[in-house]
Chains A and B, each alone.
Chain A
């Protein structure tokens, strides 16, 4: 099946610094990539949807200046958490879709801890 690679799998950073998370589709070209965050014992919360070459569409309540998404190619999307704070500590998961309607292929997730 299709493989989505997310890196890093975990990161600890100091409050006020920025963290970049990469999401790559390894063996297919993803028309759309999604970024989710998931707090413990809660479901996935969609943060934004990105299409290659265009600006990401953010969900209500998600600060686009804080969570920068770049979808530079059909195989790579990045999420940068700028000026991270402890409340940004969460599990961030990307997923990619080849076309609609198909399943979403998920990356391994990134556990972000801001200290």
Chain B
């Protein structure tokens, strides 16, 4: 079966760095997405990785290792507004998105 695993919840301090991991087992691979979702709102796109390596976009970076079925989202200089759920999603061979359950990130002052 297809499976996406990510931690349920993480806590970090304002100004610090946090890494949210995602491991996957899917039928084929056509890219991995990270989305941010604030409570009561729809997800917003953060990043897309299809090749191995690190993609940096401002305070957010995303890493992919296809051979390991592994990705992480790195958030630097954390701000209180970064408190949200972070969803990992993999596009399978049928170009369908398989969603992880999301990681709730709590930022403390």
Chain A interface (Cβ < 8 Å from any Cβ of B): 1, 6, 34, 41-44, 46, 49, 91, 93, 100-101, 103-109, 111
Task: Tell me whether A101 and B50 are in contact (CB under 8 A).
Answer: yes
- Measured between C-beta atoms, what is the minimum distance from B62 to chain A in Å? 13
List which B63-109 residues lie within 8 A (CB) of chain A.
87, 91, 95-97, 99-102, 104
By secondary structure, the B interface counts as loop
Q: A43-B102, A44-B87 are in contact. Are A101 and B95 (CB under 8 A)?
A: yes
- Measured between C-beta atoms, what is the minimum distance from B83 to chain A in Å? 14
Contact of B101 (CB < 8 Å), options: A42, A103, A107: A42
Query: Which B-chain residue is minimally distant from A41 (CB atoms)?
Result: B104
Task: Tell me whether B101 and A43 are in contact (CB under 8 A).
Answer: yes
The listed residue with most A CB atoms (<10 A of its CB), out of B87, B99, B104, is: B99
| B40 / chain A contacts, CB cutoff of 8 Å | 91, 109, 111
The 3 closest A-B pairs by CB, nearest first: A106-B42, A100-B95, A43-B101
By secondary structure, the A interface counts as loop
Task: Tell me whether A103 and B33 are in contact (CB under 8 A).
Answer: yes
Count of interface residues, chain B, beta-carbon cutoff 8 Å: 21
- Some 10 contacts from A to B, beta carbons below 8 A apart, are A1-B45, A34-B97, A43-B87, A44-B43, A46-B96, A101-B31, A105-B45, A106-B42, A107-B42, A109-B40
List which B9-62 residues lie within 8 A (CB) of chain A.
30-31, 33, 40-45, 48, 50
| A49 / chain B contacts, CB cutoff of 8 Å | 96
Query: Which B-chain residue is minimally distant from A45 (CB atoms)?
Result: B99
**Please, how many angstroms separate the alpha-carbon atoms of A34 and B94 in the complex?**
14
| A108 / chain B contacts, CB cutoff of 8 Å | 41-42
**Please, how many angstroms separate the alpha-carbon atoms of A114 and B41 in the complex?**
19
Contact of A106 (CB < 8 Å), options: B43, B91, B96, B100: B43
**Please, how many angstroms separate the alpha-carbon atoms of A11 and B40 in the complex?**
14
**Please, how many angstroms separate the alpha-carbon atoms of A115 and B43 in the complex?**
27
Contact of B99 (CB < 8 Å), options: A41, A44, A109: A44
